[in-house]
Amino acid sequence: MDSKKKQSPKKERATYSIADELGGIDLLDADYHRQNFSRHSHEGYTVGVIENGAQQFYRTGGNHVAPQGSIILVNADEVHSGHSATEGGWSYKAMYPLPDQFETISHELAAGLSSNGAPYFPSPVVYDPELASQLRLVFETLEKSDNRLLRETLLYGVLTKLMCKHGKRPTAPQDVSKAQRQLKLVKEFLDDFPSADISLQELANLASFSPYHLVRAFQKEYGFPPHAYQIQARLRLAKRLIRRGHTVSDAAQESGFHDQSHLHRHFKKAMGITPGQFAKQVAR
């Protein structure tokens, strides 16, 4: 009889919550071991601190490794993925501030960033022990303290320091080509009507492109082909509906997924948690 006992796989944990400051900021506290995030995007930025282990992720056209103590930065709407870079997995805490929330703070800065828009973070991984320590304090305070003055003060302070130390001024608007305007029409349609049952040919007609040209040009511009971008838009809608208290089944139907299992599969791969778990944690 084999005396060696098989070690049971470590349990994965992901806890979402919402901080009321700045109109509401999503927070995540997670331990992952087998989670493999598909390429996806968020409406907000990702600002995370690796607590244990290391994460490997795709961002800005390349792969990066974030070890323990480092800070992960992903810009809003930027395509990224993620999985463990070590056998033991990784733990991290993250927040997802929206561009207009950063803009609210940048407008109040007397110096540093321009007030014309939210910042751009060029480095996917930042080594800044002081800032990482301050981020941990913010996460702990948002979790445990109901002192609104303390919560707001720490959050404003850490986001301001993050922008000033690691952010860049927004790029000045460049002349937009006709092709980019046509592609934007397609993106805006998918954003505004994520549940619509639209064909590639109909989207191509909207942009005055051939279907083949649309697929290639859209992916080059936005990081996803149109059908994959539609899934991202549907996930965002489903997430909003669940947060408002809709059932997972209703959210799946209203956001355009074939059924609840289809939403479940894509939600888990993009969010690291099932829609049912998400509903229990954040629905209001």
Query: Each residue of 227-242: pLDDT tens digit?
Result: 999 999 999 999 999 9
d(CA 237, CA 84): 28
The whole model's pTM is what?
A: 0.88
pLDDT average, residue stretch 144-157 = 94
In this predicted structure, what is the pLDDT of residue 169?
76
Q: Scanning the structure block, which residue is given the tokens 């991290």? A: 92
Residue-range domains of the chain with CATH: 13-166 (2.60.120.280), 178-283 (1.10.10.60)
Task: Give, in degrees to the nearest 5, the angle at Cα 42 between 193 and 181.
Answer: 55
In this predicted structure, what is the pLDDT of residue 200?
96
Question: In the structure, what pLDDT confidence band is assigned to residue 206 with cuts at 50, 70 and 90?
Answer: very high
Average pLDDT, the chain: 90
In this predicted structure, what is the pLDDT of residue 179?
87
Question: In the structure, what pLDDT confidence band is assigned to residue 104 with cuts at 50, 70 and 90?
Answer: confident
Which of 150, 149, 124, 16 is CA-nearest to residue 70?
124
Q: Where are the alpha helices (DSSP H) in 118-172?
A: 129-144, 148-166
In this predicted structure, what is the pLDDT of residue 283?
66
pLDDT average, residue stretch 12-24 = 91
Among 104-108, 169-173, 276-280, top mean pLDDT goes to: 276-280
**Residue 262 buriedness (CB in 10 A; 0-12 / 13-18 / 19+):** middle
Question: In the structure, what pLDDT confidence band is assigned to residue 103 with cuts at 50, 70 and 90?
Answer: confident
For residues 71 and 171, the model is more confident at 71
Query: In this predicted model, what pLDDT tens digit does every residue of 162-202 receive, in sequence order?
Result: 999 999 876 655 667 888 899 999 999 999 999 999 999 99
Query: In this predicted model, what pLDDT tens digit does every residue of 108-148 receive, in sequence order?
Result: 664 444 445 789 999 999 999 999 999 999 999 999 999 99
In this predicted structure, what is the pLDDT of residue 118?
86
